Amino acid sequence: MSYLALARKWRPRVFADVMGQGHVVKALTHALDGDKLHPAILLTGTRGVGKTTLARIVAKGLNCETGVSATPCGICSACKEVDSGRFVDLLEIDAASNTGVDNVRELIDNSQYAPVRGRYKVYLIDEVHMLSKSAFNALLKTLEEPPPHVKFILATTDPQKLPITVLSRCLQFNLKRLPVAVIREQLAKVLDQEGVAFEIGAVSEIAKSADGSMRDGLSLVDQAIAFAGGAKLERGPVEDMLGTSGRQVLYALLAAIASGDGPALLAGIQQLETRAPDYSALLNDLAGYLQRIAVLQVLPDAASDDDDAELVALVAQIAAEDVQLCYQIAVGGRRDLPWAPDPRCGFEMTLLRMLAFRPDDAGGAKAGTPSATPRRVPSAPETTRAEPVARAAATAPAAPVVAPPAPTPPAPPVNVPRVPPHELPWDERIDTLGLDGGGRQLARQCAWLGEKDGVIRLSLAASAAFLLHEARRSAMEQALAAQYGREVRLLIEPAQAEEAVALTPAQLDQKRAQERQRVAEAAIADDPVVRAFKDQFGAVVRPGSIQPH
């Protein structure tokens, strides 16, 4: 008997065996148990996550000889024929090779006939987005009103290419990419059942390379078993097979960058070179490690069993700002890699940038704002450079010594009478109160009415009554008490629209701006050059174009 691939041998036969798609399984289970399955279902998701598997389980549930159920028996002739791909009423159509309208018309014509063996004819159209526009149009009416004995299950990896008219006629279920932990657990179970010895590190590498696809993971296990030749699956040979042998070296490279160890960094790069790695993939992995380190630094509780011990150790070794900058350098290096002289040069330059630059908030920069400054790369010992420098200093002509200019004596103080803050005009006093935000806006919309017996009265402009809140009034009261050096009470009285009171600071500023605008426009109008342009060429000053200084 010919060898059966693990991906086919371990394909789930019932909903309970489907992993990582509980949201879809739950909906389909309820629909089948109530015999209320929608006539058109759309399953979307990346390759190898269970679209075809779910479609076949649904076909078994619809046609099982024990009745329509979400738990088919698996032993009747209908269930066995579905599992073996021989059920006559389950028609699997590859839309990639049947794209034309004629193929769809043939499907529609055949759908009118009753099932041969089961209760329902189930049409599974895989990669349905490959159908032509005319084929989709021909299928619309049948999707909307199919014969009662027909169910359509559409599967695609690219639902964005489907017309909205098709999407509106289907129940859409989005299948998720499977987590690494789920794939690793299933692969370990399969290897145990197959009697193959393995290291958990090897299975973890395969699960990561599966990229969310269980079928890809099982196919890689098949490949690893053939690569090992019946021996135990070990991490090193599996990494060589996958081309990911440099992943563990990346941890050493990050540790060298964290400690500023240039020789160790170059040694790690040379170690990678002997393995002929995919430098583009390594930069992707490097950016992924840095992202994970940043997550663990901000959210320590997010640690999981998928995190390698070497990565967890780096969380405390690399500063958070260094992680952010290194991540940006890694992403930029991945983008620039095609322009490098060769992939190794591009990869090496990216790592040297991480070593040579780091965020620095010294020199007056605002804390928390990264600004790249050169990091001193370890070089030759100072003693090897001291003699040439000393000789150069001895042979160089002596430069004239220029005395620094004498400091200018400070100007004598000028006796300017100082006015206490509480005696300043109200519009000037606001700047000395130390108010900000809504409190300052409230003060600028108030006019001074007076102060008597420790009670200060202000009039609030009618248009700004919405600014009056007790917290802002209390803040103003405390600021005024600090200026007076005693307890004061502040009363803010909303002014009536028709009431004539003193101008508020905001109104004063508006009045001054209008006066400056008037003076500027008058100066332009009186300018002799402007008058000459008007007289000789009929020039006109554009309204709103004059701005006072």
In the predicted model, what is the mean pLDDT of residues 61-79? Answer: 92
The correct answer on CATH 1.10.8.60 for the domain covering 180-242 is: yes
**Of 434 and 76, which is predicted with more confidence?**
76
For position 372, what pLDDT does the model report? 42
Task: Answer yes or no: is pLDDT of 389 > 80.
Answer: no
Residue 231 structure tokens? 């021996």
Q: Where in the chain is the domain with CATH 3.40.50.300?
A: 6-174
The residue-averaged pLDDT of 298-304 equals 85
DSSP 300: G
Tell me the C-alpha to C-alpha distance, in Å, between residue 308 and each of 182, 289, 302: 17, 10, 13
Location of each CATH 3.30.300.150 domain in the chain: 422-502
Element (H, E) at 43: strand 40-44
How far is the first Cα of the chain from the last one, in angstroms, to the nearest whole number?
A: 94
pLDDT of residue 388: 40
Q: What percent of the chain has pLDDT over 70?
A: 87
The per-residue pLDDT for range 303-321, each reduced to its tens digit, is: 877 777 888 889 988 888 9
- The helix/strand/coil state of 151 is strand
Confidence of residue 418 (pLDDT cuts 50, 70, 90): low
Q: What is the pLDDT of residue 395?
A: 43
Look at residue 401 and tell me whether its pLDDT is greater than 80: no
What is the band of 364 on the pLDDT scale with cuts at 50, 70, 90?
very low
How large is the average pLDDT for residues 289-303?
90
pLDDT tens track for 490-511: 998 888 765 666 788 888 888 8
Query: What is the rounded distance in angstroms from the CA atom of residue 249 to the CA atom of residue 266?
Result: 12
Task: Specify the pLDDT at position 500.
Answer: 60
Mean pLDDT across the chain: 83
Supply the DSSP symbol for 472: H
CATH number 3.40.50.300 is the correct assignment for the domain at 6-174: yes
pLDDT(97) > 80? yes
Query: Which CATH class name applies to 422-502?
Result: alpha beta
| pTM, to two decimals | 0.60
C-alpha pair distances (Å), 320 with each of 359, 366, 469: 10, 16, 42
Alpha carbons 10 and 221: distance in angstroms, whole number: 12
pLDDT at 35 over 80: yes
Helix boundaries (H) for 229-342: 235-242, 247-259, 262-273, 279-298, 309-315, 320-336
Tally of CB atoms within 10 A around 9: 13
Predicted pLDDT of residue 13: 92
Return the higher-pLDDT residue of 544 and 294.
294
The CATH number fitting domain 247-362, selected from 1.10.10.10, 2.60.40.4070, 1.20.272.10, 3.40.50.510: 1.20.272.10
Q: What is the share, in percent, of the chain residues with pLDDT greater than 90?
A: 40
Out of 144-153, 330-339, 487-496, least confident range: 487-496
* Cross-strand pairs, 452: 455
Task: Please give the C-alpha separations between residue 213 and each of 21, 129, 304, in angstroms, as whole numbers.
Answer: 12, 20, 20
Task: Tell me 162's DSSP state.
Answer: S
pLDDT given for residue 1 in this prediction:
53
H or E stretch at 142: helix 133-144
Let me know: does 111 contact 138? Beta carbons within 8 Å: no
- Angle 254-259-265 (CA atoms, 0-180°, nearest 5)? 55
Any residues with CB less than 8 A from the CB of 145 and at least 6 apart, and which? none
Query: Which of 57, 27, 35 minimizes the C-alpha distance to 173?
Result: 27
Rounded Cα–Cα distance for residues 58 and 482 (Å): 78
Sequence-separated (6 or more) residues with CB below 8 Å from residue 532: none
pLDDT band at 273 (very low <50, low <70, confident <90, very high): confident
Distance of alpha carbon 451 from alpha carbon 389, whole angstroms: 75
Give 58's contacts (C-beta < 8 A, 6+ positions apart).
28, 32, 37, 41, 122, 151, 153
What average pLDDT does the segment 208-225 reach? 92
The span from the CA of 461 to the CA of 477, in Å, is 18
Instruction: Check pLDDT > 60 for residue 194.
Output: yes
Measured in degrees and rounded to the nearest 5, phi and psi for residue 495 equal: -85, 150
What helix, strand, coil percent values describe the chain, rounded to 5? 55, 10, 35
Location of each CATH 1.10.8.60 domain in the chain? 180-242
3-state secondary structure 48-96: CCCHHHHHHHHHHHHHCCCCCCCCCCCCCHHHHHHHHCCCCCEEEEECC
DSSP 345-403: HHHHHHHHHHHHEEE---TTPPTT---EEE-----S-THHHHHHHHHHHHHSPPPPP-P
| Length of the chain in terms of residues written | 549
How confident is the model at residue 176, as a pLDDT?
92
Q: Confirm if 316 and 255 have CB atoms less than 8 A apart.
A: no
Q: Is the pLDDT of residue 405 over 80?
A: no
Q: What is the largest CA-CA distance in the chain?
A: 112
Model confidence band, residue 339 (pLDDT cutoffs 50, 70, 90):
very high
Cα–Cα distance for residue pair 203/191, rounded to 1 Å: 9
Q: Is the pLDDT of residue 385 over 60?
A: no
